[in-house]
A and B are shown apart, each in its own frame.
Chain A
Amino acid sequence: MTSLVIEYSAATQSLGALREAAYRLIGHGSCQIETVGDVHRCLIEPAPRRHRPDDELRSMFIDLVTDENLREKLATETAATRHLILALAFGALASKDDASSSA
């Protein structure tokens, strides 16, 4: 099994999503990310004793990046709502704690 190189344009691909995908690849391969000019270069070393064909590992990583891009978009678009739900859920607890500590 040889190393794989997959490149993304730094103009359109976030580094954060690549890092998340690299983390999820652990166990299947190790991914080192270098940014050179306007390109993020992902150098993937297949994990020892894993017999996943190169094209399968490549597809897997590309799917992981696709998923992470979507997760990033969802997180950004719903962050304010998430914070509001958490504040509604646990804000009263914080108020209660404040009240009891100042009493």
Chain B
Amino acid sequence: MARFQPADAFRVKRDDLELLPFRFERLAADRFVVSNVVGDMATLSGVDLRRLSNLDLDPSEPLYALAAEKLLVRRKDSPVILQLLALRLRSRMGFLQHPSQLHILVVTLRCEHSCPYCQVSRRSVDRELYDMSFATALRAVDVALSSPSEHLKLEFQGGEPLLNFDLIRQVVPVARERSIAAGKTVQFVITSNLALLTDEILDFCKVNEILLSTSLDGPADLHNRNRPRPGGNSHALAVEGIRRAQELLGADRVGALMTTTQASLNRVEDIVDEYLRLGLDGIFLRPLSPYGFAVKTKQFYKYDGRVWLDFYERGLRYILEINKQGRHFPEFYTSLLMRRMLTDRPTGYVDLRSPAGIGLGALVYNYDGKVFASDEGRMLAEMGDRTFELGNLSSDDYASLILSDRLIDLVDQSLTQCAPQCSTCAFEPLCGADPVYHHATQGDPVGIKPLSEFCARQKGIMTLLVRLLEESPEDAAILRRWAR
């Protein structure tokens, strides 16, 4: 009696095959990127795309091997493939099981900087009516702790939050005590320009394991031009603050973010070099956002998405060269996308989520007790648009905020899984809904995607990454490392 089936039994026949759901985008006249339901990607010629679509495949040829590897086809008698895709899809959406992990407390709107691109519409330094009260802060902590997530991040923002450091000093121990009682862990972050950093504040951060996040736009001339303050010494103070924080708290306890202004566009190498010089562990190349003073002062309109993409590509290629010389130095947005592309780990980055990260990913408690679905939504409110205002700490609790009709409507309307163009886009599994951006720029949370700079930017970056992964093995190896 034969112990094994004959070899023919394991050979795939054309009639045994079935198409799995996949999407495609045209990259060039005869080049397409295809992706399955969990974002595994490949590029194909037009002929191969049509052959695949018609299941005109010979199981002995490379096109079949590629289609099977990327889960674009399956044998009809192989239900395990469907279970695998379902499991992976569920894993990718795992962020829904841990809602509202990030809670931002705007402890003051005051700031001693006067950056023309400021997204938060800061107020002058001497107006204390823009400070959050202790009672409001405690109410925010209680709402945060009543969210279902076990691991929370409380971020103190401004304005310049160190102008109201007394409040932070009061709130942190109480929040820690209440989180222990609730069986939760809390990570604290202060987002500051570091100009007002003192040894006392650093000691407090060390004792309470507080992370620092700051702004660094590049070398002194560029940074000071972008970020004016009395004395014109923003760069010197930021650099000094970063160095002291690295020494006292540890190199991995302070991070920096840059914003691309028109003056930055030809300086990407200088900007990256400045981050390297300061021993920072990577860089996030960020475009301007359409909120706050960036709109009022018309900074946002000084370059378009195509120009920024050129800036990003030049920067990424420069950073890849640095990595080739043996220094691990990621571009953080690329890392986020590579993780979406190459792993099924749920993303913590709210802009790459659908359902959108507004409210479900973060809640923002303004200095006056108003609660917003995102930091950008708070910025819009400062411009007079209250679309993303969910309620007030004086009358709302976590459930009434997160289940408010307003939030549910906005999340529901902006799902990329069924939005025009997004629903058929090959990049959708890696992308996210950004209802605040589209509301701000187009007056519509769904957005008209063919006119959306967010969409153009996302597609431009992802197309570049697909090209690098397929055409440049050395770059691909580095990009894969960044996904870990």
A residues neighboring B (CB under 8 Å): 20, 23-28, 63, 67, 70-71, 73-75, 77-79, 81-82, 84-90
List the A residue with the shortest CB-CB distance to B46.
A66
Kindly state whether residue B462 has any CB partner on chain A within 8 Å. Answer: no
Tell me if A84 and B53 are in contact (CB < 8 A). no
Closest approach, in angstroms, between the C-beta of A18 and any C-beta of chain B? 14
Given contacts A71-B23, A88-B87, list 7 more A-B pairs with CB under 8 A. A63-B29, A73-B53, A78-B21, A81-B82, A85-B82, A86-B86, A89-B93
**Neighbouring B residues of A74 by C-beta, 8 Å:** 19, 21-23, 53
B interface residue numbers (CB < 8 A to A):
18-24, 26, 29, 37, 49-50, 53, 82-83, 85-87, 89-90, 93, 420-421, 424, 448, 450-451
Provided the pairs A67-B26, A73-B53, A74-B19 are in contact, do residues A89 and B86 lie with their beta carbons within 8 angstroms? yes
Task: Choose one: A25, A67, A82; the contact of B37 (CB below 8 Å).
Answer: A82
Inside 8 A of B18's CB, which chain A residues have their CB? Answer: 81
Q: How many angstroms from the CA of A74 to the CA of B34 in the assembled complex?
A: 12
Give the chain B neighbours of A89 by CB distance below 8 A: 85-87, 89-90, 93
**Are B450 and A24 in contact, CB atoms less than 8 angstroms apart?**
yes
* Interfacial chain A residues near B50, Cβ < 8 Å: 70
Pairs across A and B, CB under 8 Å, 15 listed:
A25-B450, A26-B448, A26-B451, A67-B24, A71-B424, A74-B53, A75-B21, A78-B21, A81-B21, A84-B82, A88-B83, A89-B85, A89-B89, A89-B93, A90-B93
Which residues of B lie under 8 Å from residue A81 when comparing CB positions? 18-21, 82
Asked if A90 and B90 sit within 8 Å, CB to CB, the answer is yes
Contact present for B90 and A23 (CB under 8 Å): no
Measured between beta carbons, the chain B residues less than 8 angstroms from A26 are: 448, 450-451
Q: How far is the CB of B72 from chain A (nearest CB, A)?
A: 10
Whether the Cβ atoms of A78 and B85 lie closer than 8 Å is no
| A27 adjacent to B89 (CB under 8 Å) | no
Q: How far is it, in angstroms, between the C-alpha of A82 and the C-alpha of B36 when the chains are bound?
A: 10
Partner of B85, one of A24, A25, A67, A85: A85
Complex-state Cα separation, A23 to B446, whole angstroms: 14
> What's the least CB distance linking B353 to chain A, in Å?
16
B26/A23 in contact, CB under 8 A: no
In the complex, the answer to whether B450 meets A78 with C-beta atoms within 8 Å is no
What residue of chain A has the Cβ atom nearest to residue B85's Cβ? A85
A23 x B421 contact (CB < 8 A): yes
A74 CA / B424 CA spacing, docked (Å): 10
Question: Which residue on B lies nearest to A93, using beta carbons?
Answer: B90
Tell me the complex Cα distance, A77–B55, Å. Answer: 11
State how many angstroms separate the Cβ of A71 from the closest Cβ of chain B. Answer: 5
Bound-state CA distance A70–B22 (Å) is 11
Q: Pick the contact of A70 from B53, B83, B93 — CB < 8 Å? A: B53
A27-B451 contact given A71-B23, A81-B18, CB 8 Å threshold? yes
Smallest CB-CB separation from A74: which chain B residue?
B53
- Give the shortest distance, in Å, between A46 (CB) and chain B (any CB): 14
In Å, the complex CA distance between A63 and B49 comes to: 14
Query: When chains A and B are docked, how far (Å) is the Cα of A77 from the Cα of B20?
Result: 9
